[in-house]
Amino acid sequence: MAERSSGSSRRGAVIIPAYNEATVIGRTLVPLGRAAAEGCFELVVVCNGCTDDTAAVARKIPGVRVVELPEGSKPAALNVGDRVVSLWPRLYLDADIRISAAAVLDVLDRLARGDVCAARPVFRYDFAAADPLVRSYYRARQRIRRETVLWGAGVYGLAEAGHVRFGSFPDLIGDDLFVDGLFGPDEKVVVDTEPAVVTTPTDVVSLLAILRRGQRGVVEARTDGGRTGSTGPATARAVLLSIRGPGTAVDALVYLACGLVARGGRATADRGMGAGREQPGPPVIGLTSGHSRRCRRCDRDEPCSRHRSCHGRCCR
């Protein structure tokens, strides 16, 4: 780290929104704390609505500044982080993503060149602790060749010129999807550096909850006027083209089945609302009384004690 950062400091800022991440945030912050303490970049953790020791764990790491918000809202945390830091470019990092300081600096330095508005590092999945079906899903997913997109890695960066496009983060589920839709292919880049590590869910129930939440993020991004289009057929074709034998065929089948179940769950819930019956499944936006049937943040049944102070932001 010393070699990479020698002779150059204050190269940008890292903003980490965190909600009840005490068990993993230390793993995320330790590799970054030394570089932040040396002045390479600002490092801010914005705890939002935490009921655990996230803030206390983060404060123990040199170089980290901690801000606490009473409500659990990732967009609010991102906006507060923007107000707290002063340097550009900026990297927005989920609290459970592992990334090296060298990779952070590579992305910040790439943005500082001024020819692109947004960037993210390459990433890889860690599914060592996952069950066989989840591993199959992510093996298929990582074989899909995608165009340059910012979403999915749990980390992306913005130059000041890119951030001006929207000013402040809107109250949407998928901030990375929203940001990605603001830029054309020639305005964003994937930086070839040490990969960030995305830890996958360990079981199918958790995977489906994440996929359903992602579907809601897509719907919100479209409603908000983003460029997000329908990628289902193209993704299905890409998955089928990735098949090279029996093993990859099984992976592809699992991937497609999980996608269909996640989409079908939402459709079932939407139809059930018209009949006025209580239906299991993901939340449906547009209820006229109270919260919806499931929590928007963790996909648990209402009432959600973990997000009891959501005031309509996490439960809809």
What is the tens place of the pLDDT at every residue in 141-195?
Answer: 988 877 789 998 999 999 999 999 999 999 998 899 999 999 999 999 999 999 9
| Span 36-41, average pLDDT | 96
What are the distances in angstroms from CA 186 to CA 84, 94, 96, 118, 227? 30, 25, 29, 10, 15
Residue in the structure block whose two tokens are 């910040």: 108
pTM of the predicted protein model: 0.79
| Span 45-55, average pLDDT | 97
More confident residue, 307 or 126: 126
pLDDT at 224: 59
Mean pLDDT across the chain, nearest whole number? 82
More confident residue, 5 or 106: 106
How many other C-beta atoms can be found within 10 angstroms of the C-beta atom of residue 78? 20
Structural tokens at position 7:
């002779």
pLDDT at 287: 26
For 11-128+145-200, CATH number out of 1.20.1260.10, 3.90.550.10, 3.30.300.20, 3.40.1170.60 equals: 3.90.550.10
Is 70 exceeded by the pLDDT of residue 274?
no
H or E element at residue 303: none
pLDDT at 264: 78
Structural domain boundaries of the chain? Answer: 11-128+145-200
Through-space distance between the first and last CA atoms of the chain, rounded to whole angstroms: 44
pLDDT at 231: 59
Give the C-alpha separation, 90 to 163, whole Å.
Answer: 9
